């Protein structure tokens, strides 16, 4: 059974797209077949992964009902379904239609390739595209920066996810918080990390700050190619090992 993981947070700058990219390329190193799906109109994942502007995107699947297999772009690290800013206009076209929350899941069911993992980079809001991602997923990962301001709204986010899960009548097997950007030089960063572990269901892995992550997207290489000995490479490898052990 394919593990489908939505990467969600309503706050920006927490490492959502970085985490999607690093998990995807890390799973590929483990000989897993991986598809990344960019459902964020900001298209940061698309920019990070691709050198050229894609002609077809997730909008063509959700709005124009094009075959999902024709939208997939192969890279050396993973396959990807890209996004772009036009997706901002697509939600208005879809809101009046019945069953729009099921569009992505229906498309995924038509994949001709057998993927071990599908990782979905979600927008920073509970919009139609996030709902589509949740409906298709069996796991949710919430990157949360280990800074005080990042805690604001985390409870509300998890309550919203739980309510959406109930409303959609779906069963998410794992909803885990991933502490990110841990700076061990800062007392508050360590304290927030401990607070997350004590008050939320978190991953065993914590992602430390690492300047090498700023290079993602510049060379279109994975963090493991940029610097395999970096703290980011080490942390995300540990996270990948953890994810592989998740139940389907």
Position 203 scores a pLDDT of 97
Burial class (CB in 10 A: 0-12, 13-18, 19+), 53: exposed
pLDDT tens digits along 48-71: 999 999 999 999 999 889 999 999
Mean pLDDT for the chain? Answer: 93
Position 248 scores a pLDDT of 57
Mean pLDDT of the 77-93 span: 88
pLDDT tens digits along 91-133: 777 766 678 899 999 999 999 999 999 999 999 999 999 999 9
Position 92 scores a pLDDT of 74
Q: Does 156 or 92 have the greater pLDDT score?
A: 156
Q: What pTM was computed for the model?
A: 0.95
- Compute CA distances 29 → 127, 132, 166, 177, 237, whole Å: 33, 28, 35, 24, 9
191: tokens are: 């304290």
pLDDT tens digits along 174-229: 999 999 999 989 999 999 999 999 999 999 999 999 999 999 999 899 999 999 99
Domain count, the chain: 1
- Compute CA distances 27 → 59, 79, 81, 129, whole Å: 26, 12, 17, 24
Position 58 scores a pLDDT of 96
Position 1 scores a pLDDT of 85
Q: Domain residues for 31?
A: 3-244
> Which CATH number goes with the domain that contains 111?
3.40.50.300
Residue 69, Cα to own-chain centre: how many angstroms? 20
Mean pLDDT of the 80-101 span: 82
Position 188 scores a pLDDT of 93
């Amino acid at each position: 059974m394919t593990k489908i993981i939505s990467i969600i947070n309503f706050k920006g700058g927490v490492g959502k797209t970085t985490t999607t990219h690093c998990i995807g390329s890390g799973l590929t190193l483990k000989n897993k077949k991986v598809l990344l799906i960019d459902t964020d109109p900001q298209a940061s994942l698309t920019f990070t992964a691709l050198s050229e502007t894609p002609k077809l995107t997730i909008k063509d699947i959700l709005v124009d009902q094009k075959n999902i297999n024709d939208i997939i772009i192969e890279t050396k690290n993973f396959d990807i379904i890209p996004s772009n800013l036009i997706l901002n206009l697509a939600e208005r076209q879809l809101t009046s239609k019945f069953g729009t929350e099921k569009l992505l899941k229906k498309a995924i069911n038509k994949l001709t390739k057998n993927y071990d993992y599908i990782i979905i980079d979600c927008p920073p809001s509970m919009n139609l595209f996030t709902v589509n991602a949740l409906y298709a997923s069996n796991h949710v990962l919430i990157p949360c920066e280990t800074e005080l301001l990042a805690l604001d709204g985390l409870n509300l986010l998890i309550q919203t996810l739980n309510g959406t899960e109930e409303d959609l009548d779906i069963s998410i097997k794992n909803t885990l918080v991933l502490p990110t950007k841990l700076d061990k030089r800062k007392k508050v960063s360590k304290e927030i990390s401990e607070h997350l572990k004590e008050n939320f269901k978190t991953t065993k892995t914590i992602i430390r700050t690492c300047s090498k992550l700023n290079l993602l997207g510049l060379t279109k290489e994975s963090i493991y190619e940029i610097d395999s000995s970096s703290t980011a490479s080490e942390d995300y490898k540990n996270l990948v090992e953890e994810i592989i052990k998740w139940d389907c």
